[in-house]
Amino acid sequence: MRLLSPHQIDQFRNDGFLVVENLLDFETVEILRQRFEHLFRGEFETGISPDEVNWQVGESDPSLTRQICNGWKADFMIARTVFRTDLGRAIARLGNWPGTRLFQDNLLWKPPGARPIGLHQDNAYVGWLTPQEIVSCWMALDDTQAQGGTLELVRGSHRWAHSQPDSTFHGPQRYREAMEQAATIEGIAPDIVSIEIPCGSASFHHGWVWHGSGNNRTTSPRRALVLHGISSASEFVPERLNEGNGPIYGRYKHPDDNQLDENHFPILWRKDGYRTPERPCPNL
């Protein structure tokens, strides 16, 4: 990936998101699709389970969007993709950080007929981190369209008031409701942008941008791999580990300090040239 231009960075800061084409080549996209098949069947190449497995074949509601978090711990190809130095550098520039850590990846698979993901703000879930900031890279593994339940982003909503974690994340009937309530408080008519891009392209978005996705009303799946980055300088906030998804990721806190463990939050890029070795987890 080329260095982001000043114009692209300004666009991200104004809109809260930025679309970049041809981030993944087609061969990589094809391999990632195959790895999704294995992971959602519970076949973990490394023998390590992801941190969150929210859908498995034969066990879960087929009408829900399939989700796995931190598939990189279970699969080498997922790891190679989300560990890319150029993605870490781009995210650091967009976040205005000294470097980028991988907070988590998301494997998202919305089959035909699948229900929505409620609109939300990612940063609301990480109040147990300081700074409370995420920048995400959403990589399309299928050509996307509005009718297919593609990613929806609300332009400029990163400047709205900050929300609290919303429990109606998977399959709500009114998936835009929380965002619409926030827009009413702001006195703004929301500008909802559907990310319609070819497979291999991507969208970077700010952690306070409202986003989610609607029903897949097509006959094709909509798969995406998401890299959620945080600042390389991020630390735990111990008194808030019971909030958001802190109970899941707070288990990696060291008892004697608030530093993030590179085995679980690897550094992808830092301006001094350092990055965590390619396979940060001792078992990989």
CATH numbers and ranges of domains, the chain? 6-270 (2.60.120.620)
Task: Answer yes or no: pTM beyond 0.75.
Answer: yes
47: left (phi over 0), alpha (psi -120 to 50) or beta: left
Class of residue 136 by CB neighbours under 10 A (exposed 0-12, middle 13-18, buried 19+) = buried
Residue type at position 273 = G
pLDDT band at 279, cuts 50/70/90? low
Query: How far is it, in rounded angstroms, from Cα 276 to Cα 85?
Result: 10
Q: Is the pLDDT of residue 282 over 70?
A: no
Each residue's pLDDT tens digit, 166-213? 767 888 989 999 999 999 999 999 999 999 999 999 999 999 999 999
- Average pLDDT on 79-97 reads 98
Q: Which of 49-63, 107-121, 194-208 has the lowest mean pLDDT?
A: 49-63
Query: How far is it, in rounded angstroms, from Cα 158 to Cα 127?
Result: 16
pLDDT of residue 281: 46
- Average pLDDT on 124-145 reads 98
Rounded to 10°, the helix 85-95/6-15 angle is 60
Q: Is the pLDDT of residue 138 over 50?
A: yes
pLDDT of residue 55: 82
pLDDT band at 109, cuts 50/70/90? very high
Each residue's pLDDT tens digit, 228-250? 999 999 999 999 999 999 999 99
Residue type at position 47 = G
